[in-house]
Amino acid sequence: MYTRIRSTGHYVPERVLTNQDFERMVTTSDEWIRARTGIERRHIVSPGETNLDLCEKAARSALGAAGLGAEDLDLILVATTTPNQVFPNMGVLLQDRLGGHGYPCTSLESACAGFIYGLAIANSLIQTSQCRRALVVGGETLSRITDYTDRSTCILFGDGAGAVILEAASEPGIIATHLHADGAYKDLLYYPSGISLGFDRLRESRDFIRMKGGEVFRVAVNTLSQLALETLEAAGVTSTDLSWFVPHQANLRIIQSIAHKLGLPMERIVLTIADHGNTSTASIPMALDVAVRDGRIQRGQLLLFEAFGGGFTWGSALVRY
């Protein structure tokens, strides 16, 4: 029993923040932001718009592309760091929105690597015949936890959701997944508040994403380069066998550094960071859907997904689309 990606979908909010907008908000410039990150604009939810709204639209896009409905699913996994509420979990909330009933649904939190973690879990459940068709969604509203007076972080993050439909297949689609984590780096990129820390703190102060950018950059480049080589070597392929590299869209310089280490030309890398910014765990499924729908990614091509996020967590997936 194998797993293949049957369809993809994504959605971004209509509201856009450009680099020129940030020039009026903090001390920065369009030229500096482009040079340091590769970002030109990012989509931001409007008041009253939630992560669940984004996930629903991305999921409906993927279901529509497959000609399926919620009743055709056996599993929903939603990867996110910004759920609508503590419980019910985002998977349950999305199932209700879509009109599904009865099958298992849950959400998971692995920061920017969450979609890869979700892909690996769904693949395992399909391969062990515990389900035949799964919806895996990565969705974020990072604008809700971003400090728009902190120029080192506010320029980076955007909102959006991406989705894939996975299903059982007779030939390998998801060839391999590799997952890692190391809590020793927990203080380099994190959000400081949580329910168990106490409601008084949440009431009295509003916390935001905190990041030591230079240290995150160095660890991310080294870790993701090693992970890519590990993934390719384990599958018995090389970077020249790849049709497309679809990385987490965190920072253009990180992506360029990894491409250089792998000997990959930028022409074979799917980039959406200029238009979306860093959407955390939503970025890979969003970039995948963009490239599928514009015709770059075709059936039978070999793809490498890779992501690195706070925790630190990181993961990869080698996929025959």
Structure tokens at 263: 């000997």
Beta bridge partners of 246: 305
Structure tokens at 217: 């950059």
Report the helix count and the strand count for the chain, using DSSP H and E: 10, 13
| Crossing angle of helices 252-262 and 213-235, rounded to 10° | 40
101 is catalytic: no
89 is catalytic: no
278 is catalytic: yes
Residues 65, 106, 4: CA angle, nearest 5 degrees? 40
Q: Which of 10, 43, 178, 248 is catalytic?
A: 248
Q: Which of 112, 123, 178, 251 is catalytic?
A: 112
Beta bridge partners of 10: 162
Q: Beta-strand (E) ranges in the chain?
A: 2-11, 16-18, 41-43, 75-79, 105-108, 133-141, 159-169, 174-181, 189-190, 210-211, 244-247, 302-309, 313-320
CB of 241 within 8 A of CB of 262?
Answer: no
Nearest to 6 by CA among 119, 143, 173: 173
Residues 210-228: b if buried by 16+ CB within 10 A, e if exposed: bbeeeebbebbbebbbebb
**Virtual torsion, Cα 48, 53, 55, 56, nearest 10 deg:** 180
Which residue has 């679809």 as its token pair? 246
105-108 β-sheet, strand order? 2-11, 159-169, 133-141, 75-79, 105-108
Catalytic center residues: 112, 248, 278
